Amino acid sequence: MELRHLYTFQMIVREGSFLQAAEKLRYAQSTITLHMQQLESELGVKLFARQGKKVQLTEAGRALRDQADLLLQRAEALQQSMRDIVAGEAGHLRLGSIEPTASHRLPSFLAQFFQKHPKMRLTLEVGGTQGISQRVAAGHLDVGICSPPPAQLDLTFEPLFVEDMALLLPTRHPLAEKDTICLADLVDQRLLLTEPGCAYRAVIEQTMFEQGTNPYAGIEIGSLMVLQHAVQSNVGVAIVPTQAASPPPAGTVLRKVSEIRLGLPVGLVQRADNGSAGQSSKTMLASLRAQLRAGGGESQCEYP
């Protein structure tokens, strides 16, 4: 069904005759007749019954009239969407992000961006590096903000900042009073860890294993927020991203561990052949890239 045939049909209904519709549309009357013959042939029904110079809608014509306006409105909305995409004013970006970037860095950026680009659409998924990377590789996400993905997924990684990590402990914990905290101080502590496969846990384990220390104390918690509440309740201590605990929850303090830098590289993960992004999505990614480079990885640890 061609849209021009619907426009012609709509004009005949409005004007009441083929001749007046032809004058309004600046078509030859034979063109109007041809449009209706083609539309009736396609639908397999008669749309008009002639009464002299005037025409009257058949039952099928009345049914089409009731739907034509809605169909044309939807077509116009679709055409406008395409024009907006071409102009870079609209689009849909499917983004995945790890924490704490999703909670602490993205909201202020998104608020500013959508004030300037109100027609832009965003789907944001929050998860771990492994899950986000797999979703990007499968084409379910356009881009991910996470640590380096597994090499076998054949994705590109553009590093933007390092997510610094520090020790979160109860305010009354003996280590809170120390001028300097080192890895050796953590040997006899109940160190709370995130779930296996978490990129932050991998950094902690690698760093401590290299120093000859096993960080596992028997407690694994699959949420950074719950991990912080556990520290508040004196369940143990935890090494967490500084952004996730800035400011530290009531009754806790954040301390750096000396002699080492605990940090997770974070950047943009995309498919190597990702050429499907529209201009608006590219604009959003460019702005996001600049924002994360400028504001990523600031340390907000307190010192005694």
Q: Phi and psi dihedrals of 302, rounded to 5?
A: -95, 155
Distance CA 181, CA 255 (A): 8
62-89 residues labelled b (16+ CB within 10 A) or e (exposed): eebbeebeeeeeeeeeeeeeeebbeeeb
CATH number for the domain formed by residue range(s) 3-87: 1.10.10.10
Instruction: Give the model's pLDDT for residue 301.
Output: 44
Segments of the chain assigned to CATH 3.40.190.10: 91-159+265-295
Question: Which CATH superfamily, name and number, covers 91-159+265-295?
Answer: Periplasmic binding protein-like II (3.40.190.10)
For every one of its 304 residues, what pLDDT tens digit does the chain have, with 9 covering 90 and above?
687 888 888 888 888 888 888 988 889 989 998 998 998 998 898 988 877 667 888 888 888 888 887 887 777 766 666 666 666 666 788 999 999 999 999 999 999 888 888 878 889 999 999 999 999 999 999 999 999 999 999 999 999 999 999 999 999 999 998 878 988 899 889 999 999 999 999 999 999 898 888 898 999 999 999 999 999 999 999 999 999 998 999 999 999 998 778 899 999 999 987 655 567 778 888 889 999 998 765 444 443 3
Instruction: Give the model's pLDDT for residue 129.
Output: 95
Q: Which CATH class is domain 164-263?
A: alpha beta
How far CA 290 is from CA of 147, 208, 276, in Å, comes to 17, 33, 21
Q: Phi and psi dihedrals of 243, rounded to 5?
A: -65, -35
Q: Phi and psi dihedrals of 270, rounded to 5?
A: -145, 165
Instruction: Give the model's pLDDT for residue 89.
Output: 63
Distance CA 217, CA 185 (A): 14
